[in-house]
């Protein structure tokens, strides 16, 4: 088996819809076609939003589609010590700083006349002295932790989309990697997990394109390997409707209850990924042999 791994990383916040299953299929087939391992990771880092009972349903739906994975799924909730350890490295290096601003402070700073021109965090706490920060923390000041992005590259290399200009300073500014409630952010946990679990390629929908540069920046600051990111166009519902995890009708059960067979569904997803003709039938085994990145469409797919 080749060295490296692909992965799928669902958050148990809703049922997987056709678009999620399509991304999982692409990630799985791309990895298997190269002989890579395929890992499953439950992204339950944002505890308050997760519904643990959905985890089993998500894994069952993925399995029924024909996606298999190596080893037990990794659960982010079990890895808090690891995130803490890597967070402390960033803290020691001065790559992150505590931010005491409330949402309102940030909004007011941005709307002030002659205020900073960024659309995100204006950097209010970035230059606070370590002594002042320490005394505010000691006094119980509510704070999150932000990573500095001034030195981040201004373009992102995506292995599917090519070079994409993204200026993190203008698009969001220094971003939160640890929230005021102590929870680590998706960006941080996801980046650290991909690197530490040996993931070498990430395939996901392009609504997470901006996360690619954020995550690769976190990994560069930590001196960890950066995976090859592939962001593929999202799949929309009919009439341009965005598929939402919370809408039950778009989940596997809902789709099969409309009289579509699993084989038809699987083949329709593969066709939407350019891997077979519409109406043709393809098995997961064939897909894993035939997978061809050059055939993946560059525009959004529509799911009716």
Give residues in contact with ligand GLU (CB under 6 A): 9-11, 43, 190, 204, 208
Closest CA to 214 of 168, 263, 278: 168
Task: Calculate helix-pair angle for 53-65, 262-272, nearest 10 degrees.
Answer: 80
For residue 212, the minimal CB distance to ligand GLU (Å) is 9
Of the two residues 23 and 267, which places its CB atom closer to ligand GLU in the complex?
23
Facing residues of 201 across strands? 228
The Cα 301–Cα 273 span in angstroms is 8
For residue 16, the minimal CB distance to ligand GLU (Å) is 9
For residue 300, the minimal CB distance to ligand GLU (Å) is 17
Of the two residues 43 and 201, which places its CB atom closer to ligand GLU in the complex?
43
The Cα 8–Cα 28 span in angstroms is 8
Nearby residues of 295 by Cβ (< 8 Å), 6 or more positions away: 273, 274, 275
Of the two residues 43 and 169, which places its CB atom closer to ligand GLU in the complex?
43
Nearby residues of 30 by Cβ (< 8 Å), 6 or more positions away: 6, 201, 203, 230, 291, 293
Of the two residues 10 and 237, which places its CB atom closer to ligand GLU in the complex?
10
For residue 57, the minimal CB distance to ligand GLU (Å) is 14
Of the two residues 37 and 204, which places its CB atom closer to ligand GLU in the complex?
204
For residue 129, the minimal CB distance to ligand GLU (Å) is 36
Residue 154, exposed/middle/buried by CB under 10 A (0-12, 13-18, 19+)? exposed
């Amino acid at each position: 088996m080749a060295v490296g791994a692909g992965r799928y990383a669902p958050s148990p916040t809703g049922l997987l819809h056709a678009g999620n299953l399509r991304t999982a299929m692409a990630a799985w087939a791309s990895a298997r076609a190269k002989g890579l391992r395929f890992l499953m990771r439950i992204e339950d880092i944002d505890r308050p939003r997760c519904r643990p009972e959905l985890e089993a349903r998500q894994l069952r739906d993925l399995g029924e589609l024909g996606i298999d994975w190596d080893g037990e799924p990794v659960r982010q909730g079990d890895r808090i010590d690891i995130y803490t350890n890597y967070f402390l490295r960033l803290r020691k290096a001065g790559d992150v700083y505590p931010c005491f601003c409330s949402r309102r402070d940030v909004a007011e700073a941005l709307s002030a006349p002659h205020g900073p021109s960024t659309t995100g965090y204006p950097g209010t706490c970035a230059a606070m002295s370590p002594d002042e920060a320490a005394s505010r923390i000691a006094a119980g000041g509510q704070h999150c932790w932000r990573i500095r992005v001034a030195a981040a590259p201004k373009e992102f290399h995506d292995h599917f989309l090519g070079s994409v200009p993204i200026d993190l300073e203008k698009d969001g500014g220094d971003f939160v990697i640890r929230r005021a409630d102590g929870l680590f952010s998706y960006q941080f946990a996801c980046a650290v997990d991909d690197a530490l679990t040996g993931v070498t390629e990430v395939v996901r929908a392009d609504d997470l394109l901006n996360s690619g540069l954020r995550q690769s920046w976190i990994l560069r600051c930590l001196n960890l390997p950066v995976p090859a990111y592939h962001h593929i166009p999202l799949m929309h519902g009919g009439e341009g409707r965005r598929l939402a995890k919370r809408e039950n009708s778009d989940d596997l059960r809902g789709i099969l209850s409309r009289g579509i067979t699993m084989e038809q569904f699987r083949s329709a997803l593969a066709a939407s990924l350019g891997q077979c003709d519409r109406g043709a039938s393809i098995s997961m085994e064939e897909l894993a042999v035939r997978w061809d990145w050059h055939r993946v469409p560059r525009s959004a797919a529509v799911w009716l």
